[in-house]
Amino acid sequence: MSETTTMGETVKYVLDESRLPEAWYNLAADLPSPPPPVLHPGTGEPVGPDDLAPLFPMEIILQEVSTERQIEIPGEVRDVYRQWRPTPLYRARRLEAALETPARIYYKYEGVSPTGSHKPNTAVAQAFYNKREGVTRLTTETGAGQWGSALAFAGAVFGLEVEVYMVKVSYEQKPYRRALMESFGARCVASPSEETASGRAVLAERPDSTGSLGIAISEAVEMAAQRDDTKYSLGSVLNHVLMHQSVIGEEAMLQLELADDRPDVLIGCTGGGSNFAGLTFPFIGAKLRGEGDVRVIAVEPAACPSLTRGQYAYDFGDTGHLTPLVKMHTLGSTFVPPGFHAGGLRYHGMAPMVSHLHELGLIEARAYTQTEVFAAGVEFARAEGILPAPEANHAVKALLDEALRCKEEGRSEAILVNLCGHGHFDMQAYIDYFAGKLEDRAYDEAELAMALAGLPSVPD
């Protein structure tokens, strides 16, 4: 660690609780064109609130289609946020020194939340609205276990039962995440399970299925649709989820003002798109309003490359085809990625809003393999002392590449990355990495082609 670079210089930009954002930012207000509508798979017509009412509370449905720029954060939600928000913005001075880069590197650290990632930002809001509308039970899916833990925490705060379908490969790799969910009072089931028709259908075809987010979503949706007291909660992809995450970028804007700086490059990893959106949408909105330019980079795993290799098409959000059709970059709803160590990034599609931005040329996308992202995460940890979640390592890898580009070009750009979670529950992945056991397994091209061939046909 270099003392000369850190002496006396600010490392951490913190905001007082009084500066916690009072409203979420909704990018829909500033888009040059709206994303294509969500369609009913039976009729091919845009879905209305009544179609979604069995699954979501009305306030959430209204937020999903809102074009208001600001949506007030209820006081009850802000009171819970206050426990860990505003989160710190760090200047990565030791990493800058280690890389010998002229770049100014910042990271917004969401790992300080009670469950270790950005996910509680929307879990708390969703639990609050469900509780207010009389719901007593929530079902959901989880990949890495970060989202399941976050909803379990939010359920404990608002007194809701929570049932989590956890992708089987993660369920087996991460018993401590399951224990955390159970500590909060949630029930956790390995997916695919025998408990649902969707799970049983997958198991009949592939008894050794390692699961996927698409399958776990089907199971959670199926269970929610069956009971009046139960609704479904999604941890990413949908507009309202992305909007709840905007507190990340809103705070970062204020913190960069404290640093008297502006970002040239923004970076986030993308599973369903929510942490990426949370950091970048407030800045993209400012850009669309002519208030400053910025490059925005979405980073995904090469083994599940929806933005870089997927098709921009209408598709189901789940494998069992229980959800409406959304236009997004997709690998096909039946695509099951190989079992790599970033469970939160194993989703076949990308948020419609993020996909739309990519189509409009407002964001860039790139994909990395898992060994190179773990190498990046370890390099980051050795300089900054925070071990990132495997998902966040994707963003860190792009950060290192951009910082080294700045070094080569002799440019002092400001790079801001979303460090969306810590990796303390992911130590088995790191153990495997150090033992040389991580494989860069490519997805099965034939399976991808088959999944894409099965995309639903939708009239123009």
Binding stretches for ligand PLP (CB under 6 A):
117, 143-144, 146-147, 236, 269-276, 344-345, 389, 391-392, 420-421
In angstroms, the CA 245 to CA 120 distance is 9
Smallest separation (angstroms) from ligand PLP to the CB of 213: 8
In sequence order, which ranges of 322-368 are alpha helices (DSSP H)?
A: 352-359
In 302-411, DSSP assigns E strands to: 311-316, 325-330, 364-368
In sequence order, which ranges of 66-145 are alpha helices (DSSP H)?
A: 75-81, 93-99, 120-132
Residue 373 or 389 having the CB closest to ligand PLP:
389
Residue 98 or 400 having the CB closest to ligand PLP:
400
CA distances from 32 to 25, 107, 131 (A): 16, 29, 35
Residue sitting closest to ligand PLP (CB): 344
Residue 94 or 174 having the CB closest to ligand PLP:
174
> Edge to edge, what strands does the sheet with 187-191 contain?
187-191, 161-167, 137-142, 230-232
Smallest separation (angstroms) from ligand PLP to the CB of 6: 27
Smallest separation (angstroms) from ligand PLP to the CB of 361: 21
Q: What Rg do the C-alpha atoms of the chain give, in angstroms?
A: 21
> Encoding tokens for residue 238?
């949908």
Residue 99 or 340 having the CB closest to ligand PLP:
340
Bridge partners of 23, per DSSP, are 72
Residue 193 or 270 having the CB closest to ligand PLP:
270
- Is the distance from CB of 170 to CB of 143 less than 8 angstroms? yes
In angstroms, the CA 174 to CA 432 distance is 13
Smallest separation (angstroms) from ligand PLP to the CB of 270: 5
Residue 146 or 198 having the CB closest to ligand PLP:
146
Smallest separation (angstroms) from ligand PLP to the CB of 273: 5
Q: Mutual orientation of helices 197-205 and 213-225 as an angle, nearest 10°?
A: 150
Smallest separation (angstroms) from ligand PLP to the CB of 390: 8
Residue 130 or 274 having the CB closest to ligand PLP:
274
Smallest separation (angstroms) from ligand PLP to the CB of 40: 25
